[in-house]
Structure 1
């Protein structure tokens, strides 16, 4: 009896990840995402904002979760199983849906550090051989193709990701971020995360 109950629960979870695209933006697949990523995909706690994110980036990260190449602790705990249940067309539909939502800036960083963070973002840190962030992420942190939008992401999320990359975690097989983040000190991470949280 216990085995039947467990099987039923697993099937219900897997089924809830399959979007029933009805055009109303509230399919089962979307609801499954917004439980953690917040209403309208604006982010919640440690789950990042998906609204306005690059569609190609969302797709590539869902593949990385499914292939277990995005390997930080929260990815393993929450996203490996969820993304592994998605079919390619469902991944694409979810990516396009969230990319089409209007993002809102988190505005939750330290404003006193924003100017320093903007300088690092635009100019890098030449003496530490750190290139500018905008070279890959765009002048307004809007992202390019499968390189993510960073503008307006929550301070705590950005800070956590930079720290995890510095510890050697990955977001995909070809990501340069572990190498880049390893060269950033705690003060630079605080400043960057603060600045980006205010970018619209």
Structure 2
């Protein structure tokens, strides 16, 4: 917290943001004291170190801003329980959330959900139309249902089903490829089954389209 901020100003801050500040500080402490091997030599200070000061993400670290709070909370739990098991989850997130209790996780989820999300706009615009068709109509001949059936027509998600609209192309592409390789994002998710039926061109188109969705 900025020491230049007066006591009076701090009292006016929303309670959840004050609590989140404390939780992020806790993450910083955990990162500094964690074994070097667990952090691959990196000084991971807090959520915003990888996900950006406004939660908009950096390529492999997804945008958290505007994400469904129930989804963020569930993912933190899945990281802690090691059921989200892709390589970056193992390398970074398993250790990052190890000290977070459920209350802290809910505070972080609530905080990031209040930030206005910005679309990444980093996909291939020439593939956006094909990606939109896959998203809205699925691929009937491959028995793949339309993505919007779960994620909504604008990719905003619902409850613990994530918001996809505007996420970075690189992140979306990597996640679809990892699901196809057999990695998981939690217990009971259908995504590994769905992703295994998507070819490289279909993944490219879908990830490109979603990166432009507002």
Tell whether 2:115 aligns with 1:101: yes
Aligned to 2:168: 154
CA contact (8 A) 1:121 1:192 kept: yes
Aligned to 1:23: 18
Secondary structure in 2 aligned to 1:139? coil
1:126, CA displacement in angstroms? 0.3
**2:138, 2:61 → 1: CA distance?**
27
Secondary structure in 1 aligned to 2:122? coil
Deviates more, 1:28-37 or 1:104-113: 28-37
1:39, CA displacement in angstroms? 1.8
Aligned to 1:110: 124
Secondary structure in 2 aligned to 1:169? coil
Secondary structure in 2 aligned to 1:84? coil
CA gap of 1:24–1:92, structure 2 versus 1, over 3 A, is closer
Query: What number of residue pairs does the alignment pair up?
Result: 181
1:115, CA displacement in angstroms? 0.2
1:110-132 Cα shifts (integer Å, max 9, x gaps): 00000000000000000110000
State the 4+ residue runs in structure 1 displaced beyond 3 angstroms: 20-28
1:24, CA displacement in angstroms? 9.0
Aligned to 1:54: 68
TM-score, with structure 1 as normaliser: 0.87
Secondary structure in 1 aligned to 2:211? helix
Flag structure 2 segments of 5+ consecutive residues without an equivalent.
Answer: 1-14, 26-44
* Equivalent in 139, 143, 152 of residue 138 of structure 1: 152
1:23, CA displacement in angstroms? 3.3
**1:143, 1:41 → 2: CA distance?**
18
**2:152, 2:59 → 1: CA distance?**
26
**Where does 1:68-107 land on structure 2 (aligned, <5 Å)?**
68-107=82-121
1:153-172 Cα shifts (integer Å, max 9, x gaps): 00000000000000000000
TM-score, with structure 2 as normaliser: 0.81
* Equivalent in 182, 192, 195 of residue 181 of structure 1: 195
1:28, CA displacement in angstroms? 5.4
Flag structure 1 segments of 5+ consecutive residues without an equivalent.
Answer: 1-19
